[in-house]
Amino acid sequence: MNVDAIRKDFPELERSIHGERLIYFDNAATSLRPKSVVDAVSSFYLHYNANIHRAIHTLSQEATKAYEEAHQKVARFINASSMEEIVFTRNTTESINLVVFSLFLSEKIREGDGVVISLMEHHSNMVPWQMLRDRFGIKLHVVGLNNDGTLNLNHLKEILDKEENIKVVAIVHASNVLGTVNDVKEIGKLAHEKGAIFVVDGAQSAPHIKIDVKDIDCDFFAFSGHKMLGPTGIGALYGKKDILEELEPFLRGGDMIWEVSLDKVTFNKLPWRYEAGTSNIAGGIGFGAAVDYLEKIGMQNIERHERELASYALSKLNEIDYVRVYGPKERIGVIAFNVMQKNGNILSPEMIASILDRHGIAIRTGCHCAQPLHNDFLHVRGTARASFYLYNTKDEIDKFIEVLKGLKNVV
């Protein structure tokens, strides 16, 4: 990877913040966009802005072609069998909600049935299942973690062995707090041996790791475009074709209709039966352009680069005795940490972020949409989080470490 060349594709990195060159370490929240993605979105609006699947005029045909090609690109990106298995949504959150509501509407899960999640889940893969528990009486089982922040597979096996009627296992691929990468292939095997549907939250893995849904053998895989160089408001849900054909769509009207009368409705073919109304056409086209960019760089190269950055940053942070880092040694480029004061209290993560911002360094603070993980495992109210991507460098990490070392007089 030629990181210097890559950085030239991201004009935002040329900004100055408080007189300092921007260092963007908030990639787990949302990534920056290369010019090629912005140009693809702009080209749609300027040259062939029209609705899809609705007209025979040239603009509509061009828009339809580009939007469907984006589905094909995303399908190829994660090794789905075809674009029929790729539903465009707004984001990972909507993708998981689609699964939850469609399973319930299709009576694939009912009162007394069990769903398994983990303690490291993002709220998006927790709150929808809690809704089924609280309103419709499903049983929600939570897999705990080992001391190093890895998933306790023995606990998962205990739950699957002990509990009856487990219908769904829904697990995050990579934690947005701990950086932990779960063995989703093994988890999926255990789920299928139980006869359960296996759902993977891939929001933090798809941008950083080469994904092969056939090798994972997941039934659903949810991810977001905005975390992988694409526009906001666009995401995807992969679902095995036979399962998608069985389920009831939970959004209805517009493009998901094939035929409707006063007496009945026939749904459209896949994947359009799950994309109701006018789609985020520009976002979908931008999503496809983001996939083009990532594939040009190579996902294996991106993963290797980010793991090197994470390892380098961890080694530097471990030299600062008042910095506490959470999570395992082997991880994606996500590092949650706190600065400890001499009195044993935690220095406000917001204060850390404010100080870093004065030096042009953007990080995230809070619970990162993972409050149960913070409350019940880390036992802290919040953390600061630095997260890296393909355009970040070791020099940027050195600047980040320098600022943190400057906190010595504060703590």
Q: Is 268 helix (H, G, I), strand (E, B) or coil?
A: coil
Instruction: Determine the Cα–Cα distance for residues 34 and 165; give it in Å rounded to an integer.
Output: 46
Helix H or strand E segment including 200: strand 197-201
Check: CB of residue 393 under 8 Å from CB of residue 3.
Answer: yes
Instruction: Determine the Cα–Cα distance for residues 135 and 173; give it in Å rounded to an integer.
Output: 27
Check: CB of residue 218 under 8 Å from CB of residue 184.
Answer: yes
Residue 218 known to be catalytic:
no
Q: Which of 17, 131, 362, 369 is catalytic?
A: 369
Residue 45 tokens read as: 């609006």
Q: Is 186 helix (H, G, I), strand (E, B) or coil?
A: helix
Check: CB of residue 286 under 8 Å from CB of residue 40.
Answer: yes
Distance of CA 366 to the CA centre of its chain: 18
Distances (CA, A) of 199 to 14, 60, 146, 387: 39, 35, 22, 25
Q: Is 224 helix (H, G, I), strand (E, B) or coil?
A: strand
Preceding peptide of 271 cis, ω within 30°: yes
Annotated catalytic residues are: 369
